[in-house]
Structure 1
Amino acid sequence: MLHYPHFNPIALQIGPLAIHWYGLMYLLGFAMAYILGRRRITSGHTTFLTVRDLEDLIFYSVLGVVLGGRLGYVLFYQPGYYMAHPAQIYHVWDGGMSFHGGLLGVILVMLWLARKKRVTLFTLSDFVAPLIPLGLAAGRLGNFINGELWGRPTTLPWGMIFPNAGNIPRHPSQLYELGLEGLTLFAIMWIFSSKPRPVGQISGLFLIGYGTFRFLVEFTREPDAFLGLLALGLSMGQWLSLPMIVIGVVIFVISARRSSRLPKH
Structure 2
Amino acid sequence: MDPAIQPLDRVFLHLGPITIYWYGVIIGTGVLLGLWIATREAVKRGLAKETFVDLVLLAVPIAIICARTYYVMFEWDYYAKHPAEIPKIWEGGLAIHGGLIGAIITGVVFAKRRGISFWKLADIAAPSIILGQAIGRWGNFMNQEAHGGPVTRQFLESLHLPDFIINQMYIDGQYYHPTFLYESIWNLMGFFLLIMLRRINLRRGELFLSYLIWYSIGRFFIEGMRTDSLMLTDHLRIAQVVSIALVVLAAGLWMVRRVKGWAKERYLD
Q: How does the TM-score come out when normalised to structure 1? A: 0.84
> 1:206 aligned to 2:211?
yes
90, 111, 120: which one aligns with 2:108: 111
Aligned to 1:185: 190
Q: Give the 3 Å change call, closer, same or farther, for CA 26–162 of structure 1 in structure 2.
A: closer
Contact residue 162 and residue 170 of structure 1 kept, 8 A:
no
> 1:194 aligned to 2:199?
yes
Structure-1 separation of matches of 2:63 and 2:168 = 28
| Aligned-residue offset at 1:258 | 4.6
Structure-2 separation of matches of 1:124 and 1:109 = 11
> 1:219 aligned to 2:211?
no
Structure-1 separation of matches of 2:39 and 2:5 = 37
Contact residue 223 and residue 229 of structure 1 kept, 8 A:
no
Contact residue 111 and residue 121 of structure 2 kept, 8 A:
yes
Structure-2 separation of matches of 1:170 and 1:84 = 29
Matched residue type, 1:129: A
> 1:251 aligned to 2:248?
no
Matched residue type, 1:24: V
Aligned pairs (5 A) from 1:116-131: 116-131=113-128
| Aligned-residue offset at 1:163 | 6.7
Q: Give the 3 Å change call, closer, same or farther, for CA 255–261 of structure 1 in structure 2.
A: closer
Q: Which ranges of structure 1 fall in alignment gaps of 5 or more residues?
A: none
Aligned to 1:230: 233
Aligned to 1:21: 22
Contact residue 201 and residue 251 of structure 1 kept, 8 A:
no
Matched residue type, 1:56: D
Structure-2 separation of matches of 1:114 and 1:179 = 31
> How many residues matched?
253
Q: Percent identity?
A: 28
| Aligned-residue offset at 1:93 | 3.7
Aligned to 1:240: 242
Structure-2 separation of matches of 1:213 and 1:89 = 29
Contact residue 198 and residue 259 of structure 1 kept, 8 A:
no
| Aligned-residue offset at 1:55 | 0.8
Matched residue type, 2:137: R
Structure-2 separation of matches of 1:110 and 1:62 = 11
Moved more, 86-95 or 23-32: 86-95
Q: Which ranges of structure 2 fall in alignment gaps of 5 or more residues?
A: 158-165
Quote the RMSD (CA, aligned, Å).
Answer: 2.7
Structure-2 separation of matches of 1:65 and 1:262 = 30
Structure-1 separation of matches of 2:141 and 2:189 = 18
Structure-1 separation of matches of 2:263 and 2:105 = 30
Structure-1 separation of matches of 2:6 and 2:198 = 37
Aligned to 2:161: none
| Deviations, residues 37-61 of structure 1 (Å, cap 9, x unaligned) | 122123x2x12x2111111011112
Aligned to 2:130: 133
Aligned to 1:74: 72
88, 94, 106: which one aligns with 1:97: 94
> 1:167 aligned to 2:169?
no
Q: Give the 3 Å change call, closer, same or farther, for CA 228–4 of structure 1 in structure 2.
A: farther
Instruction: Give the 3-state SS of the residue equivalent to 1:244 in structure 2.
Output: helix
Structure-2 separation of matches of 1:230 and 1:153 = 22
Q: Give the 3 Å change call, closer, same or farther, for CA 10–191 of structure 1 in structure 2.
A: same
Q: Give the 3 Å change call, closer, same or farther, for CA 41–229 of structure 1 in structure 2.
A: closer
Contact residue 123 and residue 206 of structure 2 kept, 8 A:
yes
Matched residue type, 1:166: D
